Chain A
């Protein structure tokens, strides 16, 4: 139960390269915060600095108002789940979970240790495996033992370092909900590192998006999705990722390779001083098949026409791929973005996620419908989101905070009867 505050945290390695640069975050008591970013973004380094396994080059880290920069890991009172679990192979599951309790000499009697271990094991459904050695467990079971070791003592906060990356897709989904449920029940401050934007979106109360050691945006998942601050966050959050199109801003309208459209009054004002060439961002799910849109809606939307390159039918959705030619300037910005996102820009294309009932197939000429109010516009040089609405962002932040408080109170009211007497 505690608040973790990071102020202007910097991590410089021997060669002077800042792996983490000037990151400031406030993690409120009981909050579930995700650190997310592509590989090399410094998210794991940041987590290891919080727990004390990496030295902090500059800045200040405080837990519950106390500066802990130079406090040894064992005295910070945090518990951590490692990416590869780091279970003690010579100890049984029981002893693995009891390990932190046994180290706190004299604090826990044998009965107390037994009670706590059994309680953690019950919560993680490890009861029947307590006397086995980690080598004989499956990946998911090892994962749960690692979590048991983290929750067994009253840690001030839980830190997770990509805990699910070694599990297969199905188990990952199960463990994801398990972690979420556990965090709500215990109400413990949690910092969770992942490179998977799905985990970030589903688990986090708040998500900190990092790129090459620099914090891009720290906000609720909904705000990241609806009001990203820049091209990088917009491209990172969402699956399939947002489509980026080069557009010419001329005569009050935006001209794209697929057709022209104009933004609603309020939004268009934002790019008064902006260059003529811009990048428009449209999420795949904001496209619809023109044929399937009701006539009264058709009028308020805009239309793109293009030849379909590839279609992918997934049952609940139909992905349609439409290639286009980009100007050199925009192409460069998009390629750099792709590199930042660990991707490889093979070709410039847009993806539309359409209703599965759509009859579009490869090679067809089709019309896509979208609402210009959903379009974001970015400056290709700076990457800034020119259409961001700070008022809406604030509203979203307040609402997500209220939702978090409500969910926490509810879960703890229910959890108290299930777990029983967690001091």
Chain B
């Protein structure tokens, strides 16, 4: 294809506009996190002086006890619920995509039903049940409800992904001498891995961003995740908004997400199945 200079310039301008639109809030948060307490209300976009006091506050200062355990909780709970969701969803989605069994559409409909059920209506009954059976304020007490958020979407995305993998590949593997499980492990899993990674990232984000379960089903730093912990930040005095500290914490919790996306960026390559069969 010949590069048309006019067209290229147009695309660059459009791309820049979109980037500015999308990045503006992030830049604003970054800028906010670098403003010192007295500088917050400076009525300017950029801080007058770059200050790290907000970061000091959450890592070593007063907010330290609130933030660090919450960060560990968040990472642990989200990783576990993502892992469980992806493993279960991979098996379920494979069955849904490949096998014909009674109740197949029921599974998909139920998964969809669960995912559109409003979280707020579940929180109160869950709170009661969890208190009774001792799951309140524990990791497991958050992992289970998070699965209800992450499993449905994982099943749906993975089922769609498995359906794209040609049936013939598995049959070819079986004719070549593979057991059904070998065919799954040596052919289907490598081909499905971009889909699995994509799903894992989506599931992780969902769990990572949850606020409602986090604030309702925890009471101490034993299990409280970061989004809930942020709401407990207080300013130096009652009249001071903790905006700077919250912004700094928000930046910190965004970093793992960015790292994960960058790490798996290469895995999320679409079109890996091209070349399997005559397109």
Contact = CB atoms under 8 A, between A and B. Distances in A.
A100 B176 contact: yes
Interface stretch (A136-144, A273-281, A347-355): A136-144
Interface in A14-52: 51-52
B277 A86 contact: yes
Interface stretch (B42-50, B139-147, B164-172): B164-172
A218 to B, nearest CB: 25
Contacts of B272: 89-90
B179 A74 contact: yes
Given A84-B166, A88-B187, A74 B275 contact: no
B276 A87 contact: yes
Given A74-B179, A90-B190, A84 B174 contact: no
B276 to A, nearest CB: 4
Given A82-B168, A86-B166, A103-B182, A74 B175 contact: yes
Q: Select the residue from A72, A79, A103, A142 with max chain B CB neighbours within 10 A.
A: A103
A78 B166 CA distance: 21
A53 interface: yes
A89 B194 CA distance: 13
B274 interface: yes
A177 B112 CA distance: 54
Q: Select the residue from A51, A79, A82 with max chain B CB neighbours within 10 A.
A: A82
Contacts of A166: 278
B177 interface: yes
A151 interface: no
A73 interface: yes
Given A103-B178, A133-B275, A135-B275, A86 B190 contact: no
B60 interface: no
Contacts of B166: 84, 86
A319 B28 CA distance: 80
A88 B274 CA distance: 10
Contacts of B275: 87, 89, 133-137, 142
Contacts of A153: 177
Interface of B: 166, 168-169, 171-179, 182, 186-187, 190-191, 272-278
Given A99-B186, A103-B177, A136-B275, 13 more contacts: A51-B175, A53-B174, A53-B175, A74-B179, A82-B172, A87-B275, A87-B276, A90-B191, A99-B176, A103-B173, A103-B176, A149-B172, A153-B177
Interface of A: 51-53, 72-74, 78-80, 82, 84-90, 99-100, 103-104, 133-137, 139, 142, 149, 153, 166
